[in-house]
Amino acid sequence: MRAPTLKRDTQLVHAGRRPADFGGVVNTPVVRASTVLYPDIGAYERSRASKFGTLRYGRYGTQTSFALVDAMAECEGADGAVLYPSGLAAIAGVLKALLSPGDHLLVTDAVYGPARNFCDTELRRNGIDVTFFNPGIGSSIGDLVRPQTRVVYCESPGSLTFEVQDIPAIAAACRSPDITIVVDNTWATPFFHRPLDLGAHVTIQAATKYIVGHSDAMLGVAVANEPHLQRIRDWAAGHGILAGPDECWLALRGLRSLGARLRQHQESAKIIALSLADHPAVEKVLYPALETDISQALWKRDFSGATGLFGVELVSTSHDAVRAFIDSLGLFGIGSSWGGFESLILPSKPVRTASDINWKGPLLRLHIGLEDPDDLLEDLHRGLDMLNAANRRDERKHNVKHR
Ligand SMILES: *Cc1c(COP(=O)(O)O)cnc(C)c1O
């Protein structure tokens, strides 16, 4: 179900909805089912030959999940989608579906931490050779490709450090039909970035984040064209993977306001990122939408917007001062995940094995929610001024000691 002529906001409003099928109600209802009854045995036998997207048995989904599948495929411009109970389950399910023992996998060094862990443990244990690559690699990825390479796994921008990857260059350098290019597109969502249009074959969404958008459900989505779609879908169905109808309904509800929310996340995040970049307690802000960011050119070329998540590198600061800063904030929640309506902050410790990172000071990850950015800035500046004063005191102590 593709409607490439519609603009993105219009797509978000209409994708996957079929009011006429439900007595006119605007939203596809939550359809909960295990058993589905048939009028006679002939109808039951015929149903067994039917395709995905028809109501047969709860494990294969109901109208609620079918609506979300249609909507996500349409938004990413693809043949279809597969749903999973979490974003991590989508990553694991896609990689397991595409890789066999003896295969070689290339993974960005800036990959989401639990995905790195999955590659390093579960995949290696299953005889898959894993090589991590520098997220800035571009067309040089060709040098790492082997005859056994089957998947190139990208995440753009990367987790915690936010490097945008040159997907068109990577796709051009890995043009073999044996290689599938997978992109985790959680940060931008299809609203701001469509990797399938840039040469990728499969995209992954932790819908838990911006699609659901309200911090109240876990859900993952893989979107793909044939022939990859069938392989990924068969693996998920064969392993009994499904997403619950309530989660699908929450994702559909979130999707309708995704554009409006993301525009506001972007506007507020830009204001805050720019202001933080000027603060003496801050060394650098890691956000592709800033002109000073190393990824600015690629981001401008391939993305139509930036969302509310970015990194902050502080100047050299003690661990205790960073903890006191975080605890001093009144409007930033401390907790995992992001993409909801609320602002969050966490210290971050990227693991990198294939790229040099030399941080001058501690790293933070901020999610800018839908609060008024003036209030958020006031909160952050109060804390950062305190941090700056603590840094100066530490400097003076240090100077006295070493005089
Ligand atoms: C959170 C996240 C995931 C995992 O999603 P869950 O729904 O929490 O399992 C995957 N990729 C990225 C980039 C994420 O930020």
Quick one: pLDDT at residue 390? 86
Catalytic residue among 103, 184, 293, 302: 184
Active site residue 210: no
Quick one: pLDDT at residue 5? 77
Q: For 150-160, how does the pLDDT look when each residue is reduced to its tens digit (9 = 90+)?
A: 999 999 999 99
Active site residue 51: no
Quick one: pLDDT at residue 3? 47
Residue nearest to atom 6 of ligand 1 (CA): 87
Q: For 217-272, how does the pLDDT look when each residue is reduced to its tens digit (9 = 90+)?
A: 999 999 999 999 999 999 999 999 999 999 999 999 999 999 999 999 999 999 99
Quick one: pLDDT at residue 394? 83
Instruction: Give the residue range(s) of CATH 3.40.640.10 domains in the chain.
Output: 1-80+225-256, 87-205
Instruction: Give the residue range(s) of CATH 3.90.1150.10 domains in the chain.
Output: 258-401
Active site residue 270: no
Decide whether any atom of ligand 1 lies within 6 Å of the 86 Cβ: yes
Q: What mean pLDDT, rounded, does the chain reach?
A: 95
Residue 383 has pLDDT above 60, yes or no: yes
Mean pLDDT (whole number) for 314-329: 95
Catalytic residue among 2, 32, 46, 59: 59
Between 28 and 356, residue with greater pLDDT = 28
Decide whether any atom of ligand 1 lies within 6 Å of the 207 Cβ: no
* pLDDT class of 1 with cuts at 50, 70, 90: very low
Residue 398 has pLDDT above 90, yes or no: no
* pLDDT class of 356 with cuts at 50, 70, 90: confident
* pLDDT class of 367 with cuts at 50, 70, 90: very high
Predicted TM-score (pTM) of this structure: 0.96
Q: For 63-118, how does the pLDDT look when each residue is reduced to its tens digit (9 = 90+)?
A: 999 999 999 999 999 999 999 999 999 999 999 999 999 999 999 999 999 999 99
CATH fold of 87-205, please? Aspartate Aminotransferase; domain 2 (3.40.640)
**What CATH number does the domain located at 258-401 have?**
3.90.1150.10
**What CATH number does the domain located at 1-80+225-256 have?**
3.40.640.10
Residue 310 pairs with which residues in a beta bridge? 366
Residue nearest to atom 8 of ligand 1 (CA): 87
Q: For 122-151, how does the pLDDT look when each residue is reduced to its tens digit (9 = 90+)?
A: 999 999 999 999 999 999 999 999 999 999
* pLDDT class of 403 with cuts at 50, 70, 90: low
Q: For 259-315, how does the pLDDT look when each residue is reduced to its tens digit (9 = 90+)?
A: 999 999 999 999 999 999 999 999 999 999 999 999 999 999 999 999 999 999 999
Quick one: pLDDT at residue 204? 98
Count CB-CB contacts under 10 A for residue 19.
Answer: 11
Percent of the chain beyond pLDDT 90? 91
Residue 2 has pLDDT above 60, yes or no: no
* pLDDT class of 399 with cuts at 50, 70, 90: confident
Active site residue 184: yes
Residue whose entry in the numeric block shows the structure tokens 């971050």: 348
